[in-house]
Amino acid sequence: MMRDEYAEIRESGGLPGTDKLLEPPKLEVERLHVLKGVLERLVTTLSERFREYCNVPSSFFVNQLESGNSWDVLESYEDSIAGIYYCRQWDAKVVVGLDRRFIFSLIDAAFGGDGSMPPFESDRPFTSLEARVARSVFSIVVPELEDLITTITPVSLELEKLETKLDFQILGQTDVPVIAVQILFQILDNGGRMFMIIPQSALHPIRKLLERTRALDGATADPDWQKKMQDGLASASMVLKGVLEGPELTLGDIAALEPGQILRLDADPKSLIGLECQDERIFWCRLAQSKSQFALVVEQPIDRQKELVADLIASPARASTS
């Protein structure tokens, strides 16, 4: 359908035969707690999967979850490639798509790019390579989405076709209410958008399930997802720093520092050293030696309450001497 036809139909109030009175009330996105949880789990899993897929750092973030009309939403993703899926359980079509920047960024990283090249903007048709990359992405995203939704209600998504030019009537002859999800993808210094469009009529039968507020507690949480999260956190690389208490210097003193100048530390060989992670002190340690290298021996965990009190007491003292 062309843009002018779309505008004409919208102005006339919809296609002939549209019965607005029969439409169920629109879903309130703010109440869809379980759907929000599913999406947060999805982006966590995809971030992990695509780091393996691309072999470079990449991340996914939920940017928008909103209620809208299908034609308006589809219009905002014109320069995109999308998989049109049929869900038998819902008797509805679901759209999963990627914009051009997403595909460009992924291909650039796959061929050894460093992310410094800006995405190529063009009105040209998608190439066969870009279509294959999109299909490959969908083959990762959609099964993960199916698995997460199945923890709530059985669902299967079957790919009907790949659309490289989105038509306003992909989801039907009428402008229907939908739930639209926008997920941002970041890889190196580039990235793009992934989107999902689900007719609200498909979600109405499971509305009460999606509105549960305790759906993400231990009684209903997906154990496979929990294990993935635990394994991912356990294998995450973190940088630790051993920090000795140093002298307090003015900005002028620091600006006057020269090579060879000696700074006397407020410490001796038996002084405790703070072990920090992400600029957060977590343990007190003592300096030791292991073979020919210096080492830290963990003495005790940080008592945050005592540290806070000590800092509060020390702050006025430092202020009075400055």
pLDDT at residue number 19:
46
Segment (H or E) for 121: none
Instruction: Report how far residue 200's alpha carbon sits from residue 172's, in angstroms, rounded to the nearest whole number.
Output: 13
| Model confidence band, residue 199 (pLDDT cutoffs 50, 70, 90) | very high
| Range in 7-16, 22-31, 183-192 with the lowest mean pLDDT | 7-16
Indicate where the chain has its CATH 2.30.330.10 domain(s).
240-321
Highest mean pLDDT among 16-20, 107-111, 163-167, 200-204: 200-204
pLDDT at residue number 90:
92
Mean pLDDT of 226-250: 72
The residues, ordered by sequence, that sit 6+ positions from 208 with a Cβ below 8 Å of its Cβ are none
CATH number of 3-234: 3.40.1550.10
Name residue 200's amino acid.
Q
Instruction: Report how far residue 94's alpha carbon sits from residue 83's, in angstroms, rounded to the nearest whole number.
Output: 8
Tokens 């009190």: give the residue. Answer: 309
CATH architecture of the domain covering 240-321: Roll (2.30)
Q: Is the model more confident about 41 or about 175?
A: 41
Torsion angle, alpha carbons of 40, 201, 179, 171, to 10: 120
Q: How many CA atoms lie within 13 A of 7 on its CB side?
A: 3
Indicate where the chain has its CATH 3.40.1550.10 domain(s).
3-234
Q: Is pLDDT at 49 greater than 70 in this prediction?
A: yes
Q: In terms of pTM, does the model score above 0.85?
A: no
pLDDT at residue number 116:
66
| Range in 54-58, 86-90, 118-122, 190-194 with the lowest mean pLDDT | 118-122
Average pLDDT value for the chain? 79
